Each structure stands twice: as structure tokens, then as C-alpha cells.
Amino acid sequence: MAGIQNPCLVMTERSGPKAVGRRSWLRWLCWHLFTCRVERMTEVYQGSCLCAAVCYELLTPPTAVSHCHCSQCRKGHGAAFASYASVPRSALRILGGASSIKTYASSETVLREFCAHCGSTLFWSRSQGEFADWVSIALGTLDTPFKPQKQKHVYADSAVHWYTPSKQCPQVD
């Protein structure tokens, strides 16, 4: 598709990336799959980790957008808060790099998933109980533009002292 270019690679129309190597190939694959989805204009959202070893797509629009200020999310993201949205687990499809996804049990019921190569936070989910069939996506890993209809700040009482959440978004403690 003309006009869409991955700035990380020099692409050739038939052979993919000029550079040879696993990561270059994975980046080309993610780029190629993304451009095919853009051409179809379906409501599919794509994302990847920093090094592009892991590529995924969401078959439904993300919902329940939240910016979490709890200490686990802050530490996992290395930021003032973590921005997530959720989809049913069946709507998350790993396109490449499934073996690069590592899991960390941050609590008895929460699993956090990240790329073993670059460390990008990708997903978190509950291992049991209510919402165990949903997965939350780190919104910063989306490559497809996404504009949430609603969003909220959660655990705002745990926010770092040097940041004040916006009053435009609802806050839940």
C-alpha cells in the first residue's frame, strides 16, 4: 500500500526487508500484516513490542480504558501510571513472537506479560475469578491509532507526588 512506510526498515516490494535477520524479518512481517489490515479497513487493532519480536492484533476495539496509578503498574511500566484497555481473551491474536512472551505473577491472581528481548510491558490478566477471560493491553504498544470514547484514572490515591491526574477523566480510588 503506497504511503505507509515503516521507518525502521527499507522495504522492497517483493522480497521484504533488505536487511537479513530474525528481527528484521519480524518487523517486516508486522509491517506487512499491518498494511494488509489497513487496506481491508476492518476494525482490527495491531500492536507490537519495542523490538517488534512480538506482534499482536485485537479483533475487537479495546474497552474499559484506564490509567492505573497503583505501585505495581507504575513499577511495571516505569512511569507515573500505566494505561490499559481490555478485550476478551478470544479477541487477542498473537501474530508473531509468542515464544518471546514471558509471564510474571505479580500477585496470586494477576499475570503480567512482557517481551523477553526488549522488556516491553504487553498485557496483564487475571488467572482466576471474575474477568479471567479478559486480557488488558498496554495501550502504548498499539501501532494502530486508537481514540477511546471514555477513560478513567484508577488508584489515584496511590499517584506519585510529582503528578496530578487530569480532572477531565473520572477518578476511582
Assess contact for 97 and 115: CB atoms under 8 A.
yes
β-pair partners for 82: 68
What does the pLDDT look like over 71-94, one tens digit per residue? 888 888 888 889 999 999 999 999
Three-state secondary structure call for residue 74: helix
> Measured between alpha carbons, how far is residue 121 from residues 5, 111, 167 in Å?
25, 11, 27
Task: Give percent above pLDDT 90 in the chain.
Answer: 40
What does the pLDDT look like over 125-161, one tens digit per residue? 998 888 889 999 999 999 998 888 888 888 888 888 8
Domain segments of the chain: what residues? 11-160
Tell me what the mean pLDDT of segment 55-72 comes to. 91
CATH number of the structural domain 11-160? 2.170.150.70
Tell me what the mean pLDDT of segment 56-76 comes to. 90
CA distance 64 to 101: 24
What does the pLDDT look like over 42-53, one tens digit per residue? 588 999 999 999
Task: Read off the pTM.
Answer: 0.70
CA distance 85 to 7: 27
Residue 124 has pLDDT above 90, yes or no: yes
